[in-house]
Amino acid sequence: MKNIIIRGTGVYFPANKVYNQQLDEHFEKRGLSAHNLMEHLGRRKRYFISEGENTLTMCKNAIDNCVAKLGIDLQDIEMIVVCTDTPEYLFPSNAMALTGLYEDKLRNVKTAFDLNSNCTGMIQGLDVVYKYMQTSNISKALVVGCFCITPIALWSDTVVYGTFADAAACIALDSCEEANRRGFLDTLVQVDAQFYKQVIYPGCGMAKVPLKSIEPNEKRLIWNPFKMDFLPQVWYNMIMKVLDNHSLTVEDIDFFIFSQLSDAFNMKTLELLHIPEGKYHFVGNEYGYTGNTCPVLCLNRMWDTYAAAGNKIIISTVGAGLSYIVQLYQF
């Protein structure tokens, strides 16, 4: 049978480390405070891009890290999908631009496109690409994600500027014929669009971005705070449905990867699932919240533990709007 498997991962973090104390000082100068929020969400440090960096440079660095770690020959890559809601360009696609940056090294790429489903992006991208590979002759692909949030965040936004961060990640996928099924087993997606007005970028809308009459801050990301305390129950329900689809129990899952937005929400989900200690790790304290890349950062960090043959993992995350995704994968 044809399995699509994760060969490995690569990541990139900017050199600019930013600690809570620095952001405390940043907000205090503006008569604001994000200290309690950072503590509640489990933040300690994060990474912000430096001058000259952008989505393309970070994606390339993540690809380079993945290629170096896994010994990949770029000439074997036939498909590149970039998952981002902070693209450097709309024309051409970021996937096309990256393919061009590598020149002859990526001469065998047949398919290159971008995908935006906000913070569910990389997991949604994996679902799209593995299904594409299953029904085509594509045998090797790269799914690349980037969250370049600090250039578009309002400096007065205690949620976004205070707890979010920049990062890029890359996942290498291979197609292989095997006797037993493994790899991507299931993906469940759910949408509740009642919050579609809460997180908007650009705040003024794309049609108004070129207008000189629009203030710069109106072109940045607008985050209207809203409660998400229902999230653990939504994840619980979706996880149980996926498990039921495959006649599995919670005990059959070796590790759980959640969005790194809120450790508190993740812990509540674990409580609902009655998951024993040791099956969950939080990296948002070190990397901040990095949007679509955050589940992959966790997978990359814990690769030697998670990727043992036979291990089953569940990935659960959430995107603006809201959209929810739960993915079941077996190594």
Query: Could you tell me the CATH number of the domain that includes residue 286?
Result: 3.40.47.10
Q: Among 147, 162, 177, which residue terminates a domain?
A: 177
Is-cis flag, bond preceding 202, omega within 30?
yes
Q: Is 224 helix (H, G, I), strand (E, B) or coil?
A: coil
**pLDDT at position 197:** 95
Hey, how many other C-beta atoms are within 10 angstroms of the C-beta on 50?
Answer: 10
Question: 45 with 91, same domain?
Answer: yes
Question: 27 with 166, same domain?
Answer: yes
Question: 56 with 157, same domain?
Answer: yes
Contact by Cβ (8 Å): 85, 118: yes
Q: What domain range includes position 204?
A: 183-330
Decide if pLDDT at 277 tops 90: no
Question: 170 with 290, same domain?
Answer: no
Is-cis flag, bond preceding 295, omega within 30?
no
Question: 125 with 231, same domain?
Answer: no
Question: 248 with 266, same domain?
Answer: yes
Our count of domains for the chain comes to: 2
| Residue whose tokens read 């305390």 | 229
Q: Is 167 helix (H, G, I), strand (E, B) or coil?
A: strand
Q: What's the chain's Rg over C-alpha atoms?
A: 19
Q: Among 177, 197, 224, which residue terminates a domain?
A: 177
Question: 170 with 194, same domain?
Answer: no
Q: Is 19 helix (H, G, I), strand (E, B) or coil?
A: strand
For the chain, give the number of residues.
331
Q: How confident is the model at residue 276 (pLDDT cuts 50, 70, 90)?
A: confident
For residue range 114-132, what is the model confidence (pLDDT) as tens digits? 999 999 999 999 999 999 9
The three-state (H, E, C) secondary structure of 153-192, written as one string:
CCCCCCCHHHHECCEEEEEEEEEEECCCCCEEEEEEEEEC
pTM assigned to the model: 0.96
For residue range 14-60, what is the model confidence (pLDDT) as tens digits? 999 999 999 999 999 999 999 999 998 889 999 999 999 999 999 99
Question: 301 with 246, same domain?
Answer: yes
Torsion of CA 281, 82, 162, 32, to 10 degrees: -150
Q: Among 143, 177, 211, which residue terminates a domain?
A: 177
